[in-house]
A = this chain, B = another copy of it.
Amino acid sequence: MRSGLAFSLVALAAVAGAQTKYDAQVKALTDKGMHELGAYSLLQELSGGIGARLSGSPEAAKAVEWGKTTMERLGFQNVHLVPCMVPHWVRGAKEDLTMTDASGATAPLTCCALGMSPGTSDEGVTAEVIEVHSVDEANKLGDAAKGKIIFYNGPMDPTMMNTFGAYGQAGGQRFVGPLTAAKLGAVGALVRSMTMDPDDAPHTGVTEFGANDPKIPAVALSIVAANSLHDAMAHGPVKIHLTTHCQTLPDEPSADVVGEITGSEKPNEVIVMGGHLDSWDLGRGAHDDGAGITESLEALRLLHDLGWKPKRTIRVILWMNEENGGRGSAAYVDYAKTASEKHIAGMESDSGGFAPRGFGVSLTAKKARALNKWLPALSNFEIERFYPGGEGGADVDGLADVHATIFGLIPESQRYFDYHHSSKDTIDKVNPRELEMGAMSMAMLAWLISEEGVPKP
């Protein structure tokens, strides 16, 4: 790459960003944001410093304290906690998974217990494996599943260009596959990791058992392990021996962290933005969702330090317990339902700290067109469009109940599931500039809503 193309792109940038009445604000945000890269500094404290922070853990408690202290230090107003009780699941000692193939040869397989799954007995479980590729296929097993270990091996569809779509499609195997197997009388469940990166790191995540449901041990296999098991099964029946040590302890007290800049003209109209403070216990919760937390904090910091006075209240919420319960989200929605103030918009970043591409919005295509006037002001941060009919994220979607218009930051999606819920979700995978672009996108959109209001769903 040499200078010719480079110089031409200076001109291209000018073409892309037509003049708008927000040009001065865009420039001020950009100058401050890109020189200071404040979101990344915050991520170093949260993901680097505190690390993994699963609900109920000491690290999650530290993260709450850090969130509150940070908001106070940054000069936010009305900093407070919204308390909630959260599940307290612990992984315990390292899982052990061994397969014995038709020839009698044994081999270890890399796995990790799924969140909220029960542990095995100390002796573990041993059973023959049946491979399926979807929950539907498992359901069709009927009595054949009894006493067996069900192996969900349906891959994420590589032809779905937005990887979140592929996750949604394959993810049912993890969300409800183990429960489905339990109801059929299976004694364990193995789930191919929800990733397209073909390496040996397993990706955890929640699996859903109701209070009165039968429960069985359930683990995610790394892609290498899933492929090995599949290959072994081509030569005859394979037996699995699995030991896990997870436990679900009594609920723990925890909290959402809340702070704001109170509106100068309509303080009673509230724009919420945030991400979730908890993370899985593997890795260090950098993209999921340290990114959303630090983008949101940085967005409000930028507005605060630039001295802008929003007409409406702009509030940051660091939600607790997105990963395995949604208790923090529910607690805030409960508050919002009885509050005298009016939540006009909610915005979440929970798709990683990659370069932004757009915002999903809970409006019809027709109503969403009214937002296109804002695209020139957002284009400097690489926001290309609003995606109508979208949700915002698991934490913020509940604010639809109080008639808020919901937004979700949509970054570039290709790398997210390489790291998601695995030991690889660490800060070295986050580019400081891309993260700051997310923060600036959120700051600008919050500012625009504060200035002009927003269409109702």
A408 contacts B5, C-beta separation under 8 Å = yes
A394 contacts B2, C-beta separation under 8 Å = yes
Q: How large is the interface on A (under 10, 10 to 19, 20 to 34, 35 or more residues)?
A: 35 or more
A1 touching B387 in the complex, CB below 8 Å, given contacts A13-B161, A34-B158: no
Give the number of copies in the complex. Answer: 2
A288–B5 Cα distance when bound, in Å, is: 14
Q: Which B residues are in CB contact (< 8 Å) with A15?
A: 365, 387-389
CB distance from A363 to the nearest CB of B (A): 12
A390 touching B9 in the complex, CB below 8 Å, given contacts A158-B34, A158-B433: yes
Q: Does A350 contact B (CB under 8 A)?
A: yes
A1 contacts B168, C-beta separation under 8 Å = no
Q: Does A56 contact B (CB under 8 A)?
A: no
Within 8 A of B (CB), among A72-100: none
Q: Which B residues are in CB contact (< 8 Å) with A431?
A: 414-415, 418
Q: Which of A135-143, A256-264, A378-386 contacts B (4 or more CB under 8 A)?
A: A378-386
Q: Which B residues are in CB contact (< 8 Å) with A393?
A: 1, 4-5
A350–B165 Cα distance when bound, in Å, is: 30
Q: Does A25 contact B (CB under 8 A)?
A: no
CB distance from A441 to the nearest CB of B (A): 11
CB distance from A387 to the nearest CB of B (A): 4
B12 contacts A360, C-beta separation under 8 Å = yes
Residue-wise interface mask of A (148-191) relative to B, using a CB-CB cutoff of 8 A (1 in contact, 0 not) = 00000000001111111101110110010000000000000000
Q: Which of B5, B162, B171, B408 contacts A164 (CB 8 A)?
A: B5
Most chain B CB neighbours (cut-off 10 Å) among A1, A169, A172, A394: A1
User: In this complex, what residue of B is CB-closest to A415?
Assistant: B431
Q: Does A420 contact B (CB under 8 A)?
A: yes
Q: Does A269 contact B (CB under 8 A)?
A: no
Most chain B CB neighbours (cut-off 10 Å) among A7, A13, A390, A414: A414
Most chain B CB neighbours (cut-off 10 Å) among A168, A323, A357, A397: A168
Q: Which B residues are in CB contact (< 8 Å) with A31?
A: 159
Q: Does A294 contact B (CB under 8 A)?
A: no
Q: Does A216 contact B (CB under 8 A)?
A: no
Within 8 A of B (CB), among A195-235: 196, 205-206
Q: Which of B11, B163, B168 contacts A389 (CB 8 A)?
A: B11
Within 8 A of B (CB), among A281-319: 288-289
Most chain B CB neighbours (cut-off 10 Å) among A8, A9, A175, A397: A9
A167 contacts B412, C-beta separation under 8 Å = no
Q: Does A70 contact B (CB under 8 A)?
A: no
User: In this complex, what residue of B is CB-closest to A382?
Assistant: B161
Q: Which of B3, B30, B322 contacts A168 (CB 8 A)?
A: B3
Q: Does A107 contact B (CB under 8 A)?
A: no
A408–B1 Cα distance when bound, in Å, is: 12
User: In this complex, what residue of B is CB-closest to A365?
Assistant: B15
A169 touching B10 in the complex, CB below 8 Å, given contacts A34-B158, A355-B414, A381-B161: yes
A196–B159 Cα distance when bound, in Å, is: 34
Most chain B CB neighbours (cut-off 10 Å) among A165, A322, A357: A165
Q: Does A16 contact B (CB under 8 A)?
A: yes
Q: Which B residues are in CB contact (< 8 Å) with A165?
A: 6, 9-10, 13
A380 contacts B161, C-beta separation under 8 Å = yes
Q: Which of B5, B13, B169 contacts A350 (CB 8 A)?
A: B5
Q: Does A434 contact B (CB under 8 A)?
A: yes
Q: Which B residues are in CB contact (< 8 Å) with A175?
A: 3
Q: Which B residues are in CB contact (< 8 Å) with A11?
A: 389-390
Q: Which 9 A-B pairs have the closest CB atoms?
A: A6-B168, A9-B164, A10-B165, A7-B168, A8-B391, A34-B158, A12-B387, A6-B164, A6-B167
Q: A1-B289, A30-B161, A384-B384 are in contact. List 17 more A-B contacts (CB 8 A).
A: A1-B288, A1-B350, A4-B393, A5-B393, A9-B165, A9-B168, A10-B162, A12-B162, A12-B360, A12-B410, A13-B160, A13-B165, A15-B387, A161-B380, A161-B382, A414-B431, A414-B433
What are 24 A-B pairs with beta-carbon distances under 8 A? A1-B167, A2-B205, A2-B394, A4-B391, A4-B397, A6-B167, A8-B390, A8-B391, A9-B165, A9-B168, A9-B390, A10-B162, A10-B165, A10-B168, A11-B390, A13-B165, A16-B385, A30-B159, A37-B158, A158-B433, A161-B381, A357-B384, A414-B434, A415-B431
